[in-house]
Structure 1
Amino acid sequence: MKISALSYGGDDYVTKPFSPGVLMAKIKAHLRRVSTGRKEQLLELPGLTLDFYAQSVNMGSETIFLSKKEFSLLSYMAQNVNRVVSVDALFQLVWGMESLEDTRTVAVHISNLRKKIEADPANPERIITIRGTGYMLVARSAALLART
């Protein structure tokens, strides 16, 4: 029974009768293993935390769920924070070489992304356009934000 339970994807097996103390120790051990891997799946920027596991963004206490393409765009820019990322690079990353789409679709997705993460999407402060080149995700420290 133990072998089949573990071979079908189980992480552990508890037989009856069991001690509540042993059960709690096993649960805590599993939670420790899960939480240590979980930190590696977060990317924290000032005022913005990307959760690669849930494909969501946390802004303060608010969780914002993004489409797969929006999350791909934002996560790539977050990994290149404060650097200009070309429209072509974003297009190749998200849509690939074989896509029948047009690079203008990047602008549409960036616009949708701004509506979700910018305080004023018409005057973006997080994702700015670099004319003729691409976009840049700007991460300012809290001290810089307070001064501006």
Structure 2
Amino acid sequence: MKVLIADDDPQLVRALRITLGAHGYEVVAAPDGASAITLAVKERPDIYIVDLGMPRLDGIGLIEAVRGWSTAPIIVVSGRTGSADKVEALDAGADDYVTKPFQVDELLARLRALARRAVAASDEPVVTFGDVIVDLSTTSVTRGGERVHLTPTEWRILEFLVRNPGSLVTRQTLLKRIWGSDQVTDTGYLRLYMSQLRKKLEADPAHPRHLLTESGMGYRLLTD
């Protein structure tokens, strides 16, 4: 699987080349956003690792450019820790966000999750997590072999998370997808619906393992 790293820190790029190469990834790298676009067109990477603070074209500009022609997963690795930066990157089209400095094991785990998504995408009609089976083709959900009734809105939220497994989905993205407008504000609807989904699908709703909240940003479905 080919990974494109867009980062102007040569030491970090060198370290990632060694680490990712040792885990079977093919790595190509660019020191700025403009070069990354040229390289992406040539190499057609399966996954992108993108820094935000790059010369010539920053990470947000690169993400928006890539999203114009590719659905390949994008993971941001940045020293910017503010939630506004994270939300901006995710809303631009990034799939995940890791803050520098980071643990290599964490980055590898995020890459594996995104790699599975890149391979399977949404072509797989049946997705499982815990004792829950979600059949996208029949819009049905079972838990422990028993059919689970979801409201239409609950289904739409779950379906979007299931089609983006492991990825951090912002509240604004869900609001736009479910209610269809950028002007919709979260007045507690999503928290309510996520609480209901956890009651129906999690073994311990108070301590969910699969339907997770990322504080201040959004939600993530873990299928492992």
Aligned to 1:42: 125
For residues 83 and 103 of structure 1, do their structure 2 counterparts lie closer, same or farther at Cα, with a shift above 3 Å needed? farther
Q: Secondary structure in 1 aligned to 2:220?
A: strand
**What CA distance in whole angstroms lies between the structure 1 residues aligned with 2:181 and 2:127?**
30
The answer to whether the Cα contact below 8 Å between 2:133 and 2:143 also exists between their aligned partners in 1 is yes
Give the corresponding residue for 1:96: 180
Find out whether 1:136 has 2:136 as its counterpart: no
Using the alignment, how far apart are the partners of 2:213 and 2:221 within structure 1? 9
Counterpart contact for 2:132–2:142, Cα < 8 Å = yes
Counterparts in 2 of 1:139 and 1:123: CA distance versus 1, 3 Å: same
2:211 corresponds in structure 1 to 127
What is the CA deviation profile of residues 87-115 of structure 1, one whole-angstrom value per residue up to 9, with x for unaligned ones?
11111111111876635211111111111
1:49 maps to amino acid: I
**Deviation at 1:139?**
0.7
Find the counterpart in structure 2 of residue 66 from structure 1: 150
CA RMSD, Structure 1 to Structure 2 (Å): 2.2
Residue 159 of structure 2 is aligned to residue 75 of structure 1: yes
2:199 matched to which residue of 1? Answer: 115
- Segments of 5+ residues of structure 1 without an aligned counterpart are 1-39, 141-148
Take 1:79 and 1:100, find their aligned partners in 2: how far apart are those partners? 22
Q: 1:102–1:134: structure 2 CA closer, same or farther, 3 Å change rule?
A: closer
Assess if the C-alpha contact under 8 Å between 2:166 and 2:221 holds in 1: yes
Kept in 2: contact 1:55–1:65 (CA 8 A) = no
Q: Is the 8 A contact 2:175 2:184 kept in 1?
A: no
- TM-score norm. by structure 1 comes to 0.60
Q: Which has the higher contact order (CA 8 A, sep 6+)?
A: 1
TM-score (norm 2): 0.41
Structure 2 unaligned regions, length at least 5? 1-122
Q: Is the 1:91–1:103 contact (alpha carbons within 8 Å) kept by the matching residues of 2?
A: no
Name the amino acid aligned to 2:200: K
Determine the C-alpha separation between the residues in 2 that align with 1:43 and 1:134.
Answer: 24
SS at 1:93's partner residue?
A: helix
* 1:54 Cα deviation after fit: 4.4
Equivalenced residue count is 101
Question: What code does the residue aligned with 1:75 have?
Answer: E
Contact kept, 8 Å, 2:171 with 2:186, in 1: the verdict is no
Corresponding residue of 1:55 = 139
